[in-house]
């Protein structure tokens, strides 16, 4: 069902999280213009949320935005920072409150994207185990060997490594005609290499790298909640398994997607996050803290250069420069925004951008540190610019050189 302005505001009382707004007594008034818009005021007082269908001019903060942009913002199609800096979202009053306000609400559940075709999934997972197994789901059959047959949802759960085959075998959802040691061997491999599609968000991207960055040495489970979505982290001394869903462990950490991304690149300290209320936990804090110290940093040199741009920004050299620049460095995607003498960097691509730079991370790092000349990089095709190349030159001159 398509989102509407009134539908978005009407869902807010149900999504409100009182534990995230302890001690907050404030209000935000919204003037949503255009077709389907309206006036609304959100009031938080004494741990309770009230929605008023009127614009209270004396609210702590006020927002003006079109109905089209408000819907796009809530669908994730428009970035809040981009909306603010481009003037699509006009905020007044307590701007810090506006930044924190979304954290007082759970994100509504969104419809999941389409699953990978069963043929594609089965082929890849059978290749992973390299065992003679024939998978049958309805009239479809894949592979050769002992027969694994059953309902598609149960078979998918087994193949992706997300559902232990034991309960499904007992209930008859799946059946296996061969040696059970073969199925157990396949399950061990699949469960240690689960097929998971993580959210295409900064936190989701960090989550996808956890197993690779795990340094080892721990045992146990930790439940991690990002924007309320649970993931189970299962630790063994030499392996980490990350899978969606709750676990029965006693240790839980909850925080927003953005704060988890910040934690992974060293921009947020876990203790500080807990003290400030940005994160919450259940269980033994010492054990939770120990788990978070078992990972290599998520920052590579190219990412560190992009993340350092606000610190290296030279306001005087930039002058009245206005620019939105995209950076595509393989799996790294960032956007730089320069607006009214201020600089911001976001770990995702915003659209539209004035110009976009595409390169391999190593080539971008070499150019940024002076080890690769810019002209040579462009002439050789190592650095590609889509859009206005002159604007890209002006942007480059607005930053202090990275130390090699």
> Which ranges in 217-256 belong to alpha helices (H)?
none
Enter the pTM of the model.
0.48
Domains assigned to the chain? 5-104 (3.30.1050.10), 118-192 (3.30.1050.10), 202-292 (3.30.1050.10), 301-396 (3.30.1050.10)
Cα distances (Å, whole numbers) of residue 362 to 56, 300, 383, 396 = 52, 10, 11, 18
Q: What is the pLDDT along the chain (404 residues), one digit of tens a residue?
A: 467 899 899 889 989 999 989 999 999 999 999 999 999 999 999 999 999 999 999 999 999 999 999 998 887 777 777 788 778 999 999 988 988 898 899 876 544 444 678 899 999 999 999 999 999 999 899 999 999 999 998 899 899 888 889 888 988 899 999 889 999 999 999 988 888 878 767 788 788 888 888 899 999 999 998 887 888 888 999 888 888 888 876 788 888 887 888 787 666 777 777 777 778 888 888 888 888 778 876 667 888 889 889 889 999 999 999 999 999 998 788 999 998 888 888 878 887 889 999 999 999 999 998 889 988 999 999 999 999 889 999 999 999 987 65
Burial of 298 by CB count in 10 Å (0-12 exposed, 13-18 middle, 19+ buried)? middle
Q: CA–CA separation, 393 vs 404, rounded Å? A: 20
How is 363-393 classified by DSSP, letter by letter?
Answer: HHHHHHTTSS-HHHHHHHTSEEEEE-HHHHH
């Amino acid at each position: 069902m398509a989102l509407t302005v009134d539908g978005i505001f009407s869902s807010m009382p149900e999504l409100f999280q009182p534990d995230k707004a302890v001690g907050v007594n404030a209000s935000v008034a919204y003037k949503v213009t255009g077709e389907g818009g309206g006036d609304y005021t959100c009031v938080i007082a004494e741990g309770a949320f009230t929605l008023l269908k009127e614009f209270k001019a004396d609210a702590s903060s006020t927002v003006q935005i079109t109905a089209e942009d408000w819907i796009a913002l809530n669908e994730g199609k428009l970035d809040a920072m981009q909306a603010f800096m481009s003037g699509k979202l006009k905020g007044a009053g307590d701007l810090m409150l506006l930044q924190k306000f979304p954290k007082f609400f759970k994100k509504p559940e969104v419809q999941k994207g389409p699953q990978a075709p069963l043929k594609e999934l089965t082929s890849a997972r059978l290749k992973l185990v390299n065992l003679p197994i024939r998978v049958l789901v309805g009239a479809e059959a894949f592979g050769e060997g002992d027969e694994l047959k059953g309902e598609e949802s149960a078979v998918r759960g087994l193949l992706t490594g997300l559902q232990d085959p034991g309960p499904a075998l007992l209930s008859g959802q799946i059946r296996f005609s061969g040696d059970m040691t073969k199925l157990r061997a396949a399950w061990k491999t699949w469960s240690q290499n689960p097929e998971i599609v993580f959210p295409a968000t900064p936190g989701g991207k960090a989550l996808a790298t956890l197993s690779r960055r795990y340094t080892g040495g721990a045992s146990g489970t930790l439940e991690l909640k990002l924007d309320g979505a649970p993931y189970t982290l299962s630790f063994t001394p030499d392996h980490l398994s990350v899978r969606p869903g709750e676990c029965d462990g006693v240790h839980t950490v909850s925080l927003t997607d953005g704060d988890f991304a910040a934690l992974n690149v060293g921009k947020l300290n876990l203790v500080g996050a807990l003290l400030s209320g940005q994160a919450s936990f259940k269980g033994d804090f010492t054990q939770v803290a120990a788990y978070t110290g078992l990972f290599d940093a998520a920052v590579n040199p190219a990412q560190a250069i992009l993340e350092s741009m606000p610190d290296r920004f030279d306001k005087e050299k930039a002058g009245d420069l206005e620019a939105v620049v995209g950076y595509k460095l393989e799996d790294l995607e960032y956007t730089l925004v320069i607006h009214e003498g201020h600089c911001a960097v976001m770990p995702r691509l915003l659209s539209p951008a004035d110009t976009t730079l595409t390169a391999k991370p190593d080539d971008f790092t070499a150019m940024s540190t002076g080890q690769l000349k810019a002209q040579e990089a462009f002439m050789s095709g190592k650095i590609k610019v889509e859009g206005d190349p002159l604007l890209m030159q002006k942007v480059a001159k607005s930053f202090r050189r990275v130390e090699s």
